[in-house]
Chain A
Amino acid sequence: MIPVQAAFPVSGGGNSSNAVSSAGNGTNDLPGSDLSGTEVDDLTPEQLAAQWEEEKPPAAGALANVGSSLVVIGVGIGAVVLSIAMGLGTPSAPQPGLWPFMISCVMVALGLFQLIMGRHNRDAEKFTRMSAAPLTGLVTLAAMVALMPIAGFELPALVLCIIWMRFLGGETWRSTLLVSAVVVAAFYGIFVMALNTSIPHLF
């Protein structure tokens, strides 16, 4: 879905293992690595891949791997415990817990493997100042879900649009207010008037 992730197997289109290494750790030896800001338009595929690699948010450290592995192990162990509580039975006469038990054991094993072998992986992304945007987005979404049954969808949707456009997107107040109003009106028209759905609405 995103260019950066897909960038590495493509440079040159040929030997993919070479491409991986050149995009992964060798951005410095590529001629395109010093072009930030200057002539970005005339790039060879290799330079483009290197540039995508550079624009990628900073990689998270070892802590991210430990953290995500521990979450996986935690979920896995929880599922193991719950599966045992449901009863395992035997392969020929299984109880409901057997299949989830098998999956969660695999999950714990994979989590442990990732914890140890994935130490040097740098495929996680660091949370930066930019991560405040999705967090804000998340809060507005959650608020909207909470408020919709009480207050209808119109006002929460309007607030969500305003916050996303003005504060997350840096639009001007004028266009924010104008577009938000039009968007909410359009949704009202489509979901309430045209499709006649039972979406909670105020008006």
Chain B
Amino acid sequence: MDFLNPVINGFAVVLEPMNLLYCLIGVVIGMLIGVLPGLGPAATIAILLPLTYNVEPVTAIIMLAGIFYGAQYGGTITSVLLRLPGEASSVVTVFDGYQMAKQGRAGTALGLASIGSFIGGTASIIGLTFLAPIVASFALDFGPAEYTALALLGILLVATISSGSKTKALIAAALGLLLATVGRDIFTGENRFTFGSLELADGIDFVPIAMGIFGLGEIMYNLEERHRAAKAPSAVANVRPSRRDLKQASGAIGRGSVLGFFLGILPGGGATIASMASYAMEKKRAKQPERFGKGAPEGVAGPETANNAAATSSFIPLLTLGIPANATMALMFGALLIQGVTPGPQLVEQDPGLFWGVVNSMYIGNILLLIMSLPLVGIFVKILRVRAAILAPITALITLLGAYTINNSMFDVTLVVVFGIVGYLMKKFGFEPGPLVLAFVLGSLLESSLRRALLVFGGDPLGFFGRPISATLLIVFVLVAALPGIRSALAKRKAIVPAGTAATEIKEKV
């Protein structure tokens, strides 16, 4: 049980009063911003990044984990009460959650969601505790070639799993990689794409990009529409679910935990897929599937459990390989880099205090979420009554002034506005912003590993196929890249066959 020692030491880190306090602040602020319609966890974290600047790395990350959980739960609250999912992973919560709210059981729905989130999250952290060191030790042998292949695969998977057009997602990713090259070349020291600007010579910071594209872009996009019909329901009572409800939902929570954990490890929108898969599974398993969509407690508990479990287990690729699995994790990655922490296989060995501090802070974040969410629901309902018209300028100002405080520079604020425009236009024209940010974060890692690997191979790109792990990863890469083509070819073939039979039928009729 030697390996448990650092785990236990990690608890000592987390339980320092200062860290507890920051975790608490993170959860509360995360919920406050996350509950604003239209702002999901990625936007919330992006807007709040400046908060973590002047604190110790461990504390900052503990706070970020708090913000993350809070924002996640904030999305659940709007799903249940307003029928507005804060993010893709709580879309399915709307179906039964809102119906429960209509029947006066909003409190029960929120209570079940938070209990499910707590159990799913906790189960997932336990899984992470055991799995992460194994993955990390496996990844310790990774050289530049493996990292090149891994980063390429990560970007491709996130782009292909995104909901919109795959080509557009890939274009966004390419733009992200290109933006990452702005500034001094790490190998030769030459300036690239700086156009003579001194401020650009150090490269573009991650924070203004994230704040602009996720934060301001999202705020501007929301200005155009659409949450006009939002009206908060009258009252939320009885947050504590009855024993019968709990019994009814317990199976869903258990299955959701396991399902979410495994789906979360896979790159690309883990939490979203997990919640949808869980909803589908619960509906299929139910004795009376027709109850779903009419306020079935399992329909809330299962997906909410699964998305929290997945959100937690998606930390595994980030903390052990240094490869973020989705846009939210890309933000976490960026935040860690700012703190001077490079997530990767060495992290467990070199800085066990930090690693286990981060992992264990998730327990605390989950517990705080459970404690805070139930009594505070009333306050959030009040926030929801505040009209979007008033909240929009406040969040915009928080973003602008927050961006200034990072480096005390107006240049950063300008960048935030510029990337806000980029983010808005991207959403308007159907380009997902997630792959851009993810690719930007991975850009310099990808370039430097690629160049190192090519040096090792003497400039021969076929060298990547000479190493088993990088070869496997690249073959998977090619398969994933070719899959849409193969699938559409198959679909066309299928489409031709029925069309042909239809034609013959018509002929016969004639």
Interface residues of A (CB under 8 A from B): 1-3, 5-10, 13-14, 41-42, 44-45, 48, 55, 57, 60, 64, 67-68, 72, 75-76, 79, 82, 86, 90-97, 99-100, 103-104, 106-107, 110-111, 113-114, 117-118, 121, 123-125, 127, 130-131, 133-134, 137-138, 141-142, 144-145, 148-149, 153, 157, 160-161, 164-165, 168-171, 175, 179-180, 183, 187, 191, 195, 197-200
Contact = CB atoms under 8 A, between A and B. Distances in A.
Contact of B389 (A99, A131, A170): A170
B404 A169 contact: no
A82 to B, nearest CB: 6
A137 to B, nearest CB: 5
Contact of B220 (A76, A93, A100, A137): A137
Nearest to A72: B171
A1 B40 contact: yes
A100 B193 contact: yes
Given A5-B164, A45-B95, A187-B397, A131 B224 contact: yes
Given A7-B91, A13-B92, A169-B387, A148 B413 contact: yes
Report the contact-size class of chain B (Cβ under 8 Å from the partner).
Answer: 35 or more
9 contacts: A5-B164, A10-B91, A97-B192, A110-B171, A114-B168, A160-B393, A169-B389, A175-B390, A195-B405
B405 to A, nearest CB: 5
Interface of B: 38-40, 42-43, 83-88, 91-92, 94-95, 102, 163-165, 167-168, 170-171, 174-175, 177-178, 181, 185, 187-188, 190, 192-193, 216, 218-221, 223-226, 272, 276, 279-280, 283-284, 292-293, 387-390, 392-394, 396-397, 400-401, 404-405, 408, 410, 413-414, 417, 420-421, 424, 427-431, 447, 450-451, 454-455, 458-461
Nearest to A117: B167
Given A107-B175, A164-B389, A183-B394, A14 B167 contact: no
Contact of A100 (B87, B94, B178, B276): B178
Specify the main secondary structure of chain A where it touches its partner: helix
Nearest to A144: B400
A32 B410 CA distance: 50
Specify the main secondary structure of chain B where it touches its partner: helix
A124 B396 contact: no
B495 to A, nearest CB: 12
